[in-house]
């Protein structure tokens, strides 16, 4: 193993959305053995580095499901954005169907409905962790706004039409299964669009060339590492592309069934330091 790529939510992060001390030490151990450890996440850069900063880790990052690659210093190495034409096509579908979505860009993430943004964040916390109370979840959701992890804007056009802003991803939400499946079909009919999900009620929409798998290949090539020497670990559908590309694929015990089915190994849950257990098993 020369490159180890880990998903973040539901994988590297525990129920408190933190990197545990055990996982932190395992990553440091792997790096001491010459292994490059990278994070591949649906989060944007701002939200991805927050839990890493807490434990003083600086790692290469694949952000927004592969739309952006950053080195350890936080510099953009490669980006694969949506074109403005693609964005407007996606916007039309989502608006026609009345589906709320958030905007991920090179300048941060945005919502045009603060209340919906808070409600969605609370629902995500319940689906990806075990937050026990509404008040606790709402406090964490409001913290996202306070820290600039997500920003409010009256209209998304203010952002997408601004100079030097590129659109990386749209993250759409609906608990209506029939509506979500119908919207997914319409979005997939748009040229060069990739649609996946990181939770049961969302759709993650990017350029077709912006996937975790493609970006993991790019990162490996930059370091002259064969994909046979790459290990990837994850728990959800947006991890499938990198699990299929990696020489060795590991699923979390808390992973979706489809993810487990394509994995070579299954490790413990994110609340039982599954990432650390996988690293130590591979490195001995």
What is the tens place of the pLDDT at every residue in 248-280?
999 999 999 999 999 999 999 999 999 999 999
CATH number (domain holding residue 226): 3.40.50.1000
Q: Are residues 61 and 120 in the same domain?
A: no
Tokens matching residue 77: 């190495």
CATH number (domain holding residue 112): 3.30.1240.10
What is the tens place of the pLDDT at every residue in 162-194?
999 999 999 999 999 999 999 999 999 999 999
Q: Are residues 71 and 111 in the same domain?
A: no
- Cα-Cα-Cα-Cα dihedral sign, residues 22, 28, 34, 39: positive
Tokens matching residue 204: 């993650």
Q: Are residues 162 and 197 in the same domain?
A: yes
What are the angstrom distances between the C-alpha of 187 and each of 56, 73, 109, 240?
A: 39, 35, 21, 19
Tokens matching residue 268: 């413990």
What are the angstrom distances between the C-alpha of 203 and each of 49, 101, 196, 215, 259?
A: 23, 9, 6, 19, 17
Percent over 90 (pLDDT), the chain: 84
Q: Are residues 225 and 195 in the same domain?
A: no
Question: How many alpha carbons fall within 13 Å on the CB side of residue 260?
Answer: 10
Terminal CA-CA length for the chain:
12
Q: Are residues 39 and 51 in the same domain?
A: yes
Q: Are residues 40 and 110 in the same domain?
A: no
Residues comprising the chain, all counted? 284
- Among 155, 183, 207, give the residue marking a domain's end: 207
Q: Are residues 43 and 184 in the same domain?
A: no
| Distance of alpha carbon 185 from alpha carbon 98, whole angstroms | 15
The pLDDT value recorded for residue 143 is 72
pTM above 0.75, yes or no: yes
Q: What pLDDT band is residue 142 in, cutting at 50, 70 and 90?
A: confident
- Among 182, 207, 232, give the residue marking a domain's end: 207
Q: Are residues 117 and 202 in the same domain?
A: yes
- Among 176, 207, 238, give the residue marking a domain's end: 207
List the single range of 61-70, 111-120, 219-228, 251-260 with lowest mean pLDDT: 111-120
The pLDDT value recorded for residue 234 is 98
Contact 171, 204 (CB under 8 A): yes
Q: Are residues 186 and 247 in the same domain?
A: no
Beta strands 248-252 and 36-40, pairing class: unpaired
Q: Are residues 117 and 67 in the same domain?
A: no
Contact 216, 242 (CB under 8 A): yes
Q: Are residues 109 and 94 in the same domain?
A: yes
Q: Are residues 182 and 160 in the same domain?
A: yes
Domain count across the chain: 2
State the residue range of the domain holding 203: 84-207
């Amino acid at each position: 193993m020369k490159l180890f790529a880990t998903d973040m939510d539901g994988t590297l992060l525990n129920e408190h959305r933190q990197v545990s001390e055990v996982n932190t030490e395992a990553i440091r151990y792997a790096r001491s053995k010459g292994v490059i450890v990278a994070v591949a996440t649906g989060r944007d850069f701002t939200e991805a580095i927050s839990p890493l900063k807490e434990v003083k880790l600086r790692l290469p990052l694949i952000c927004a499901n592969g739309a952006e690659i950053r080195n350890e210093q936080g510099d953009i190495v490669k980006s694969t954005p949506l074109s403005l034409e693609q964005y407007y096509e996606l916007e039309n579908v989502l608006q026609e169907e009345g589906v709320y979505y958030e905007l991920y860009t090179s300048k941060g993430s945005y919502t045009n409905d603060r209340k919906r943004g808070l409600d969605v964040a609370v629902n995500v916390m319940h689906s990806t962790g075990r937050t026990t109370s509404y008040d606790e979840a709402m406090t964490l959701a409001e913290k996202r706004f306070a820290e600039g992890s997500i920003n409010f804007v009256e209209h998304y056009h203010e952002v997408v039409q601004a100079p030097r802003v590129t659109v990386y991803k749209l993250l759409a939400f609906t608990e209506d299964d029939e509506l979500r499946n119908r919207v997914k079909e319409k979005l997939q009919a748009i040229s060069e669009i990739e649609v996946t999900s990181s939770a049961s009620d969302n759709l993650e929409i990017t350029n077709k060339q912006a996937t975790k798998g493609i970006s993991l290949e790019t990162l490996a090539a930059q370091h002259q590492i064969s994909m046979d020497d790459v290990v990837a670990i994850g728990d959800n559908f947006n991890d499938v592309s990198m699990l299929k590309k990696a020489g060795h694929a590991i699923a979390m015990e808390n992973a979706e069934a489809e993810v487990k089915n394509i994995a070579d190994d299954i490790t413990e849950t994110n609340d039982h330091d599954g990432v650390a257990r996988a690293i130590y098993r591979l490195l001995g």
